[in-house]
């Protein structure tokens, strides 16, 4: 992390480890130029022992992709939920993968995120809302590793596991129906 606003420093010091994952549906239809509302399917972020997750009922869930000679941008913005820290409740997570040269992203199709090696800036920000006095505070940092995992592979593994469980359950039912011999 590179910055933690004062009200959060005692709970989330700069030395906290940070990790997270996100998944998005790359079949989400494009609305407008490079905007994909509702694309984010899952998000989790852990800072030290503190965690936030995607808020599926939140107002914000969009990926925006800009392919421009003056600068490329892959921006994921989504509402999050998690435990309050004092008077502050997590509200928004934003990930910005950008390239000032405009060479990292080709087109605005929702494919895999760009490679970190091609980017000039990799920033994230977690915003908290003050429930008592209003206003916001933030935690932010840079990303040093990013791995794209295709969702279909995960779906295939889940489906295979589910089929196995159904098969085991059916086998158990057959054993219950058979008469036991003494």
pLDDT tens digits for 104-137? 888 888 887 777 778 888 899 999 999 888 889 9
pTM (two decimals) = 0.77
**What is the pLDDT at residue 148?**
61
Question: CB under 8 Å to 124, separation ≥6 — which residues?
Answer: 93, 94, 95, 96, 140, 141, 142, 143
H or E, element range at 5: none
CA distance 154 to 163: 14
Q: Domain coordinates of the chain in residue numbers?
A: 3-148, 150-182
- Averaged confidence pLDDT in the chain: 81
H or E, element range at 105: none
pLDDT at 79 > cutoff 90: yes
pLDDT tens digits for 61-78? 999 999 888 889 999 999
CA distance 70 to 90: 33
**What is the pLDDT at residue 130?**
92
* Alpha carbon separation from 116 to 93, 99, 120, 147 (Å, rounded): 19, 10, 8, 9
> For the residues 40-59, what does the mean pLDDT come to?
94
pLDDT at 169 > cutoff 60: no
CA distance 19 to 17: 7
């Amino acid at each position: 992390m590179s910055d933690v606003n004062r009200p959060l420093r005692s709970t989330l010091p700069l030395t906290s480890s940070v990790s997270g994952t996100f998944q998005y549906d790359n079949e989400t239809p494009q609305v407008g130029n490079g905007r994909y509302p509702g694309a984010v399917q899952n998000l989790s972020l852990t800072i030290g022992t503190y965690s936030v997750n995607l808020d599926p009922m939140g107002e914000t869930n969009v990926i925006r992709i800009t392919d421009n000679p003056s600068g490329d941008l892959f921006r994921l913005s989504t509402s999050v939920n998690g435990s309050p820290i004092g008077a502050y409740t997590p509200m928004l997570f934003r990930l910005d993968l950008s390239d000032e040269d405009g060479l990292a992203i080709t087109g605005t199709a929702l494919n895999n995120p760009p490679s970190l090696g091609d980017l000039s800036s990799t920033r994230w920000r977690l915003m908290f809302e003050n429930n008592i006095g209003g206003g916001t505070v933030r935690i932010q940092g840079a990303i040093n590793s990013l791995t794209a995992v295709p969702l279909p592979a995960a779906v295939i593994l889940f489906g295979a596991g589910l089929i196995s469980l159904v098969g085991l359950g059916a086998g158990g039912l057959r054993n219950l129906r058979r008469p036991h011999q003494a």
